[in-house]
Structure 1
Amino acid sequence: MWRKASVAALLALAVGYLYHGCPELPEQLLHYISPASSHSSPQSQHRLEQVISNAWDSLITLPTRQWTRVAVGVNACVDVVVSGVGLLQALALDPGSGLDHEVLHSKEDLREAFVHFMERGAAAERFFSDKEVFRRIARAAAEYPGAKLYVGGNAALIGQKLATYPALMVLLCGPVGPKLHEMLDEQIVVPPGSLQETDEYHLILEYKAGEQWGSTRAPQANRFIFSHDVSNGEMSSLETFVASLEEFQPDLVVLSGLHMMEGQGRQLWEERLKEAVAAISDIGKDIPIHLELASMTDRDYMNSIMQEVMPIVSSIGLNEQELLFLSQAGGGPHAHLATWKGVPDVGQVSDILLWILERHGRSDPSSEADLTRVHFHTLAYHVLATVDGYWANQVAAVTAGARVASSQACGTRTVDATKVELKAPLRFHSSHSEARVALSLDPAAPVTVWRRGNVTFHMTPVLVCKQPLRTVGLGDAISAEGLVYSELKSQQPF
Structure 2
Amino acid sequence: MGSTSVLTLLTVLSVFTALFAVIFQAYLASNDLMKLTTILQNMKTLENQIPSHKARVAIGYGSCSDLYVKAVDFLNFTESLENALSQGTYNVDDINTEDEFLQSFAYYFQRGAAAERFTSNKELFQNLVRLAKKSSTAEPRWALGGNAPVIGSRLAMEGAEVMLAAKMSSKLKSHLRPDVRLVGSSIDDDDIHLILEYKTGDEWGTLKSPRANRYILHNDHNNPFINSLEEFELALPEFNPHLFVVSGLQMMDNYVYQPGVRESRIEKVRAQMQSQPSDTLVHFEMASFVELELFQLLLKDVIPYSDSLGMNEQELDNLQQVLETGKISLVADCNPRVALSLDQLRAVIRILNNDYYMKRDADPNRRMLSRIHLHTLAYQAIVTAKGTSWNNTKNAAAKASLTAHRHVCASSIVNPDAAYRLLDDSFATSTLEGARRIPFSKEDPVSCWNETIPVNNQHQLEVEICVAPVLICKVAKQTAGAGDNISGAGLVLQI
Q: Shorter-chain TM-score category?
A: 0.7 to 0.9
Other-structure match for 2:458: none
Counterpart selection for 1:118 from 83, 106, 109: 109
In 2, Cα distance between the equivalents of 1:413 and 1:141? 28
Question: 1:381 and 2:397 equivalent?
Answer: no
Contact 2:156/2:162 (8 A) holds in 1? yes
Contact 1:427/1:441 (8 A) holds in 2? yes
- Mean Cα displacement is larger for which, 372-381 or 422-431? 422-431
Letter in 2 for 1:457: I
SS of 2:465's partner is: strand
Q: How does 1:400-479 map to 2 (within 5 A)?
A: 400-433=399-432, 436-453=435-452, 454-479=462-487
Other-structure match for 2:455: none
Q: How does 1:193-342 map to 2 (within 5 A)?
A: 193-265=184-256, 267=259, 268-331=261-324, 339-341=331-333
Deviations 1:75-123 (A, max 9, x none): 211100011122223x988752554533421211111111111111111
Question: CA 1:62–1:74 in structure 2 vs 1: closer, same or farther (change >3 Å)?
Answer: farther
Unaligned runs of 5+ in 2: 1-18, 361-365, 453-461
Letter in 2 for 1:355: A
Unaligned runs of 5+ in 1: 13-37, 488-494
How many Å apart are 1:8 and its aligned residue? 5.3
Deviations 1:23-49 (A, max 9, x none): xxxxxxxxxxxxxxx9xxx5x976322
SS of 1:229's partner is: coil
Deviations 1:406-436 (A, max 9, x none): 1221122121001110011332211223762
Deviations 1:128-172 (A, max 9, x none): 11112211211221222321000100001111212223x432211
In 2, Cα distance between the equivalents of 1:476 and 1:251? 19
How many Å apart are 1:459 and its aligned residue? 0.3
Other-structure match for 2:14: none
SS of 2:372's partner is: strand
Question: CA 1:479–1:336 in structure 2 vs 1: closer, same or farther (change >3 Å)?
Answer: closer
Contact 2:429/2:437 (8 A) holds in 1? yes
Question: CA 1:380–1:64 in structure 2 vs 1: closer, same or farther (change >3 Å)?
Answer: closer
In 2, Cα distance between the equivalents of 1:114 and 1:179? 30
Other-structure match for 1:154: 147
Question: 1:78 and 2:65 equivalent?
Answer: yes
SS of 1:476's partner is: helix
Higher Cα Rg: structure 1 or 2?
Answer: 2
Letter in 2 for 1:385: V
In 1, Cα distance between the equivalents of 2:406 and 2:291? 33
Question: CA 1:291–1:342 in structure 2 vs 1: closer, same or farther (change >3 Å)?
Answer: closer
Other-structure match for 2:340: 348
How many Å apart are 1:284 and its aligned residue? 2.5
SS of 1:467's partner is: coil
In 1, Cα distance between the equivalents of 2:354 and 2:441? 31
In 2, Cα distance between the equivalents of 1:461 and 1:384? 12
Contact 2:54/2:161 (8 A) holds in 1? no
Letter in 1 for 2:282: I
In 1, Cα distance between the equivalents of 2:318 and 2:405? 26
Contact 1:404/1:478 (8 A) holds in 2? yes
Counterpart selection for 1:9 from 22, 25, 43: 25
SS of 1:242's partner is: helix
Question: CA 1:137–1:6 in structure 2 vs 1: closer, same or farther (change >3 Å)?
Answer: same
Letter in 2 for 1:374: I
Deviations 1:211-242 (A, max 9, x none): 11110111111110011002112222223223
SS of 2:253's partner is: helix
Letter in 2 for 1:441: F
Deviations 1:332-388 (A, max 9, x none): 79x999854452121221122122222224898786523211000010101000111
In 2, Cα distance between the equivalents of 1:135 and 1:308? 33
In 2, Cα distance between the equivalents of 1:107 and 1:286? 49
Contact 2:318/2:328 (8 A) holds in 1? no
SS of 2:75's partner is: helix
Other-structure match for 1:481: 489
Counterpart selection for 2:130 from 139, 155, 175: 139
Question: CA 1:373–1:218 in structure 2 vs 1: closer, same or farther (change >3 Å)?
Answer: same
In 1, Cα distance between the equivalents of 2:81 and 2:243? 46
Aligned length: 453
Q: Report the TM-score when normalising by structure 1.
A: 0.84
Counterpart selection for 1:357 from 349, 359, 363: 349
Other-structure match for 2:7: none
Other-structure match for 1:32: none
How big is the alpha-carbon RMSD for the aligned residues of Structure 1 and Structure 2? 2.9
